[in-house]
Every structure is written in structure tokens, then in C-alpha cells.
Chains A and B, each alone.
Chain A
Amino acid sequence: MMVRRQSLLARILVWHGLAMVVVAVLAAGSVAWLLDTTSTRLQHQTLNAYAVMIDEGLRPNGDGWRLDIENRMAVLGGGSSFSFGVSDGSKVSPIAGLPAPLAGIGSVASQQPRYFHRLVGSVQLSGVVWPSQKSPARWIVVVQNLDDPAVFFDDVNTGVAIVATLAIAALLTLLMAIDVVIVRRSLAPVARASQAMADLLPHDLTSRIATSGLPIEVLPLVEGANVAFERLATAYANERDFLADAAHALRTPLAVLQLRVDDVTDPAMRSAMAAQVVHLRRIVDGLLTLAEIDSTAPPAPALVDLSSLASDRAAEIAPLALSKGQTIIVDAAQPLAVYTLADNATKALDVLLENAVRHTPSGTSIVVATKPGQIIVSDSGPGVDLSDVERLFARFQRGTAGTEGSGLGLSVAERLMKQAGGTIAFENLPEAGSRFTLVFSDLSTQIEP
């Protein structure tokens, strides 16, 4: 299944943006409609007012018509965009001294004022054919040229539309920007909580995520996480206590047993028992070490010279090898420093050295060598049976033929190396013997500045 990651911010912006566009379209439409109807009404009122003035001042003038002086002044004061005529129902006659409408306009008449819009060429005309109040078969025709610079109704319309569009666009953008700020600010405590959660150390469960300043929508999530941490911390503490108790409970009787074994008078019996005590001790050590790796935080990486580590540990076990008739040769003259977990490196190397000394016969040579980032322990012993190689690092896997290991050493070493970010490799040597290699990775990046 594909997991889609969605940003809350993106989601809010998309939906809010859509909602705002819908609202803006509706608002713009309403404004446009309102403007249109208002301007139409005003236009009609203007046309009506001219028609009334002409109707009142209309006087016969020979065959044609003229306007009395008073109304003529008023009509001319309205500007040059108007033209006027008198219709008898079929033909429009001009009024003397006033601009006449274009031919063919205003000829159709009815008992109600008839408003019309017409496009002649590129000229927009708006007008009315108005039934005269004085004579039933007479209609006053008033036409306005809307493209005349003196006419401003349609200019207002266009201007308002442009300004409104720009204003709405600007407001939309501003709102989106405000959205971004609001969402970012609202989510900041969530981001902080996430960072706090990420910063929790695997073995330090004492710290909790601060809930102050968190929005109530997110609070339950963080509180839930804190409760879960609390339970984990308790479980860890229990395990650590158990570990300390188990160590004490196991090791003290072992100590008594070991001292008691010294009292056994029969030397054969004494050495047999002593061997079993050592065996038991190794198992207890192995189990406790495995448990420790799981339940305690490793210390910070330190600069370790692999060559001096190899020499020190080899020198430590050399007397035992010597007493078994084995030879230990150290080939680690050059300092080879690496940032790693010093204690893990020491314990893992000890496991390899002890195994080499323990599981190979008298006369074996054990070579401890170093390379950059590696410690290699090889021996000229019998090597590892092919059938055992796969299970070499499994717990409680002991080599064939009753060797007396705990069966835990290599799995402990492997876990220690893994915790230190390294590996442990094994191979049988072509001639005879086996070779274990500890490979360390550089942990200098984990050093706190």
C-alpha cells in the first residue's frame, strides 16, 4: 500500500483557497449585478427626465418642432452626448436647435416607455421611446451616445470591475499568506514536541515531552506518548533492578561454591569441580553481559588505539596461553586510533582471545594483529567444523566435541560489536586454523560537540 504523506499546511491552503475563490466569484458577481441594475435604473431615470423636459417644452415649429427657451437651456446643459427627436409612431422628426438621433432609431412605439440599447457601427447607443403625456400619438425619442467622453456610467462599471478584481486578488493572496503564518504558528508546538520525541535517548526514558503551549487538538497525542514512555521507563527500571538482583543472587553462591571447592581434598574431584565452577561463572557472565547490553546506555565513543588495546589484552591472557603450551604473537606496532566504544571493544576482543586459548590445543600459535579499523585474531588450531560455522554466533551454541565454553561468548561479542556499530567476521584458514576479525566503524560523528 502506498502511504501518502500530506502536509496539513498544504491541505489547509488548498481548501481555504478554493473556498475563497468561490466566495470571491459570488461576491464579484453580486457586485457586478448590483452595479449593472443600479446603472441601468439611473440611465432610465436620466432618459426619462430628458423626455419629460422635452415633452413639456415641445412647441410646433412649422412642419417640425422646437423647444421653448427654458427647457432648451436645461436640455442642452446635459451635455453633447444626447440627441432628441419626436416620433409619430412611424417616423422620427428632429427638434430645431437640438441634435437629432440617427435615422431609423426610435421608430417603434408603444404606450409604455420603451428602453433600448443598440450598437451602430462601433457606437453604443442607449435610449427611450417615451409616450407623450400631452398627445396620444406622439412619442419623445431620447438617445444617448454611451461612448461619448461625457458619459461615465459604463466607465464606472468597468472601473469598479477592474478595481474589484485586483482588490479581491490582493485580498486572496494576503489571506493565503496569513493562513501560512497561522498554520505555521499553530503547528510550531507540534514541531517542538516531535523534536523532543526524536531527541529521547533509547536508554534514558526519564525525560518527557513538554505539554505547555500545545494546542488541545494535539495534547492527547503527546500525553499519550508520555504515558507510553512512563510505562517503558518503569519496565526498563524493573529490568535493570532485576539484572542487579540476578547478578547478586547468582554470583554470591558461586563465590561460596568456588571457595568451598578449594577445600575438596581429592585433587581430581577438586579440579573437576573447579572447572564446572568456571564454566558456570562464564555462563552467568555471558547472560548478564547480554542483558546489560539491552538495558543500559553505552557511554560516549572514545578514541581507542586498537594496537595498544590488542597488545594490552594479549599481554593479559598470555600467561594462560603459555601455561597451556600455546604461543601468542602480537603484530601491532603501529598506533591505529579509532573512535569506538572502548568497553565493548575490550570485551569483544577478550571473547576472541579466550576462545582462541580455550579451544585450541597445546602447540597452537595465536596471532593478534591490527589493521586500520580492525583487530584480527587468528590461530593455527583445528579450525571450525563446517557444520558449526552457520551457528557460530547463535546463543548456547558450543563447538563440537565437548569443549567447555559457555556457548555465549561469540554471541556476546557480536552484540557488543553491533552496539558499537561494527561487525565480527569469521573464516577458516586454508591451511589450518581459524581467523576472527573485529571490524570497527568510526563513531567520531556521535561525539557531542
Chain B
Amino acid sequence: MKYEQLSLIQLDALREIGNIGAGNAATSMSKLIQKKVDMEVPNINIVAFDEVMEMVGGAENLVVGILFEIHGKAPGIVYLLFSLEEAELLVKQMTNDNSMTLYNGEEPNSIAFSALQEAGNILAGSYLSALSDFTNINMQPSIPHLSIDMAGAILTVGLLPISEFTDYAIIINTKMNDVQGEHNGVNGQFLLLPSPESFTKIFQALGIQDDK
């Protein structure tokens, strides 16, 4: 499949997938932090690898990334990304403990890390189950893989399966925003990177495999 040749209807379908997934995840997030959570209209980005890094503030930018492998008929990778501040705020709100930090000095705080992974589980689980219901394709998230590091290092992992085929990635990018705290709320970003072979399956499932 040629990435450059997606039809408008296929792009729309991918956008809708991002919408449905993140909509469901935003509801879960809202329950988790007991605040209203909004989401932005998803972007479908067909981008060179360097541009992927620009989407999250540059390759050197520090991000909190929770990666899930997608198992099932349409494999891929989904990332849930936060800034350090957002992740810390999320953990504070989940644990009801305002003194909670991600690091105790240099050492990672295992309770905070574990809370973050659990949040990832809940959010990615609801994201993927919505996709699964919509497409009727079985998709299961792996366990969460958490890393706090440079965006380039974290996101390359998700690009590797694609990189054997092409130098472009199709990324379904959705942002969630905690409505009350515009300045320092818990905002999260989902990046969905289906494997190249998964697109055909997704489009077939939705009955839009023809490039029209």
C-alpha cells in the first residue's frame, strides 16, 4: 500500500478511528481524575520520521511515554504521551496525594510509576476497545511500557516496524485536555501507529478498501 495514495474517505475513516478511540479514553480519563476532559479533533499525519519528532516538540524534548504493542488482527503501536508536569499532576490526582512526585531525588518513585502505568492501562484499554468495537477487529494492548526520556529515543521504537517498508509514518494523533486547568492541566496525547499491513485490514473491515 502506498501511503501517499490514501483517499479522502480513507483519511476520514482514520480520523474517525482516532475520534472514537480518544473519545472513549477521554471518558475514562475524566473518571480517573474526576474532572471534565475534552479532546481535540484528531489529526492524521503522513509524515517523515523527523517530522514525527517535531509533532511532540522535537527529538530531544523530554516526554513521558507509555507504549503499548497492539496484538491481534491489526497490529501496531499506540503511545500515550505526557509532559513531565502533566504526568506528575495525573499521578497526584489519581493518588489524592499532592506531595507525590515521579522522582525522589534521582530515584524513580515506584508508586508514582506504577500509578502512571495503571493510568496508561486504563486509557489505552478504552482507546483500543473503542477501535476494536468500531472496526470489529480484535485488538488487545500489551502491558504498559513506560519511559521518561527524549522523544526521539522513545518514538523511534514505534517507527521501527514501519521503517522496514517506508520512510513515512501514518500517525493518528489525538490530544486530550483537562478542561479546568488550561494552563497546567492534565493533557495527554495519543499516537496510533498501525503497522503497514494493518491499514488494509482496517479499510476492509470498514468496507472502504477501494481507492476512490
To the question of whether A and B form a pair in one complex, the answer is: no
Q: Taking beta carbons and an 8 Å cutoff, which residues of B are in contact with A? A: none
